[in-house]
Chains A and B, each alone.
Chain A
Amino acid sequence: MNYYLLEDNLIQQRRIQHIIANCLVFDQPMALLDALKADQSAKVILLDLEIRTVENVGLNVAKMIRQFDTMSQIIIVTTHSEMIEQGLKYHIGMIDFIDKAQSDSLFTKRLLSAITAAEQQIRMQNGTQSELIRLPNGQKSESLYLNDIVYMTSNQSQSHQLTVCCEQKSIQIRTTVKSLPDLHQNFIQIHAAYVVNKSKVSAFDAKKRTVQLHNGVLLPCARKYLKSTRQLFEI
């Protein structure tokens, strides 16, 4: 695993290097970005928010990293405790937020646990960068990882509302079920109200006309789609 650090204060650089020995240290955002682009594998990136007294450089760097790299884990190490976790988590999907202004033992403990969590996360992703898929959402669109999507279903109350069920979350967007199968070949319509991600189907029961997903959810399969579904899942 490769570790990268963006930090301009020499003392802090040494402090972190003391905890993580094989950490590559940068004090220029551009140099860091170039190095990150060169390294294709999943990494753990530690960022300071304030570089050379310019506020929020770290945040912008994080956003730039996210444009080309979605699997690396970002940890923010900063004195700026007023930058609140939630926003950062939302914007850049960072994993942890560590305040520099705490006693050394605490700091070490927090940093190590954050790094362990980041490594775990990377291992869970298997180091493969998943395909991003853009789902239309009214006039805007919503980007999701293809292998995160389990199935999609229309809402009971409104036909143009759609719920996308992912592994860890569900998202409601404004589009029609009908338009989904055209977005990707893995999206299979099994019912007027259901579209499943092909790779998430674990079983198909032609008698009961149900499709079972790998997380245990049972979905009905309409007669209209029975034939096409059978061809896909039953050999």
Chain B
Amino acid sequence: MFQVLNIFNVITWPLFESSVMLIWFSTLLGQHHFSKGTVVIASMILYVINMIGNSFESPLLRASLASTLSIGVLFYIGWRQSIISSKRVLLLYASVSSLLAYWVVNFEMTMTSLVSVPVFVQTSLDFLANILAVILALTFRRLQYEWLTESFLDKHGIQLQILLISSLFLRIMNDLLAYFFAVQQFTGSIWWDFFLLSIILAIIFVPVISNQQELLLDKINQHDVEMAASQSYTQQLETKYSEFRFFKHDYKNILASLEYGIASENMSDIRSTYYSVIKKSNDTLPDPQILNLKYIADLNLKSLILVKYQTAFEKSVSFNVEINAFFDIVAIENDVTFYRVIGILLDNAIESAEKAVKKTVTMLLTDCEEIVIINSCTQRMDLTKIAKLGYSSKKNHSGFGLNFVQQYVNQHDNIELTTISEQHHFIQKMMFTVR
């Protein structure tokens, strides 16, 4: 019976280790679903690695080879699938998931070595610990939490560096201790295990928490900007309104003098009055500058457009929104990334229009299926590289915006983006497939 259990343990152990590692890795990558083939191949490779690692005679190799190689494999998978672009973040996640995968079993082994138990009990406890590790990993996966802090880590290089170094350091420490454990110079300590766990958790949660905090701050700032924009918009509407009232007043006067001119049949009087009214009405009457936003159902989109309108207004770019039917796309509602995409496109349009002679940006929203942003520009652009990461026509810019837009569009099957560059106009056309 014991023999069977022992062999069973030897065979299943690497399986557990590899699957736990994969589960953690995918959880850390933001609930990324690997394809079946990838999962099978990766777990087979990890299985073989762990199997080989455990069968080495030398304790040093046994301790360090498997863990190092499995980090390498995880890293390779993540890199090949290009889930996230930053290699350092990938390495961090790979080493953290390997640390997490080994932790439960390490803890159990420490406990059993401190409280000496019969070999039979220890083997069954090993098995139980493996199952517990799987359950733990799966539970965390269940939480469906948005882990993804890649953009945050990308922005904070130093923090990433520290996290990466500490996770690699822990990994090395762990390997060293495992080596001492194997040559029986070290009997294990609960304190070390708890210390390790808390550091791992810190590595995971510190960026998550500070990311959340940053997002919250962003939201508050954005709210302020929106408030300011809508306030100044109201102000502009008010000034327009008072202009209209003045005009209404004038208009009555002009009509009266016209009537007088007609009564006295004085043609020159009539003519001069008439032309003055025409001139005046051209000055004051319908101004296309007033945004036609009542047709936009999405409040967030509306406030985004308002904010950009204000930006354009400050840069003396005329910003028009043309929309003549109710615009409401369910697919993109409350999709924060979509607002960011539109924001990037509008920012680009405004900045490019600023340099042109005739500074105009026009946004057309038609029939719930197209958003077109047209801006004036100085020259025809080379479209073959605009979406390339790091390409920017502006100085001191990272060239990140359009690349982000392109990635977003590629991820969404129901959105197409077409870019048209003419001599004096630059057009971004976004088409939606309404289902």
Contacts and interface: CB of A to CB of B under 8 A. Distances in A.
A associates with B: yes
A90 B363 CA distance: 11
Contacts of A168: 422-423
Interface stretch (B19-27, B250-258, B281-289): B281-289
B281 A101 contact: yes
A157 B391 CA distance: 10
A90 B414 CA distance: 23
B385 A155 contact: yes
B385 A156 contact: yes
Contacts of A157: 385, 387-389, 391, 403, 406
A169 B425 CA distance: 9
Contacts of B335: none
A171 B420 contact: yes
B406 A140 contact: no
Interface stretch (A81-89, A184-192, A225-233): A81-89
Contacts of A163: 383-384
Interface string A150-172: 00011111100101000011111
Interface in B258-286: 275, 278, 281-282, 286
B322 A84 contact: yes
Given A156-B388, A157-B387, A157-B389, A140 B431 contact: yes
B374 A86 contact: yes
B372 interface: yes
Question: DSSP majority for the B interface?
Answer: mixed
A142 interface: yes
B218 interface: no
A174 B416 contact: yes
B380 A170 contact: yes
B374 A161 contact: no
Given A86-B374, A157-B403, A169-B422, A103 B278 contact: yes
Contacts of B406: 157-158, 161
A155 B384 contact: yes
Contacts, number: 92
Interface in B391-433: 391, 403, 406, 410, 413-414, 416-423, 427, 431, 433
Nearest to A165: B383
Contacts of B419: 171-172
Nearest to B278: A101
A139 interface: yes
A137 B324 CA distance: 26
Contacts of A174: 416-417
Contact of A158 (B281, B382, B387, B423): B387
Nearest to A157: B388
A115 interface: no
Nearest to A164: B383
A152 to B, nearest CB: 11
A137 B286 CA distance: 38
Given A82-B288, A101-B282, A137-B416, A169 B362 contact: no
A181 interface: no
Interface residues of A, number: 30
A169 B278 contact: no
Q: Which of A138, A139, A142: most chain B CB closer than 10 A? A: A138
Given A84-B288, A84-B362, A161-B406, A173 B418 contact: yes
Interface residues of B, number: 42
B362 A87 contact: yes
A90 B372 contact: yes
Interface string A170-183: 11111000000000
A138 B409 CA distance: 10
Nearest to B419: A172
Contact of B364 (A90, A137, A154, A156): A90
Nearest to B422: A169
A101 B279 CA distance: 9
Given A84-B288, A102-B282, A139-B413, A169 B421 contact: yes
Given A56-B324, A155-B384, A169-B423, A87 B282 contact: no
B433 to A, nearest CB: 6
Contacts of A171: 383, 418-421
B320 interface: yes
Contact of B320 (A84, A139, A155): A84
A137 B372 contact: no
Contact of A86 (B322, B389, B420, B423): B322
Contacts of B278: 101-103
Interface string A69-98: 000000000000110101100100000000
A163 B384 CA distance: 6
Contacts of A90: 362, 364, 372, 374, 427
A169 B420 contact: yes
Contacts of A153: 384
A36 B278 CA distance: 35
A139 B362 contact: no
A18 to B, nearest CB: 18
Interface string B302-323: 0000000000000000001010
B22 to A, nearest CB: 29
A82 B286 CA distance: 6
B360 interface: yes
Given A158-B387, A170-B380, 8 more contacts: A86-B320, A86-B364, A87-B322, A90-B364, A161-B406, A171-B383, A171-B421, A174-B416
16 contacts: A84-B288, A86-B322, A86-B360, A87-B364, A90-B364, A101-B281, A102-B278, A139-B413, A139-B414, A154-B384, A155-B385, A156-B385, A157-B388, A157-B406, A169-B380, A171-B418
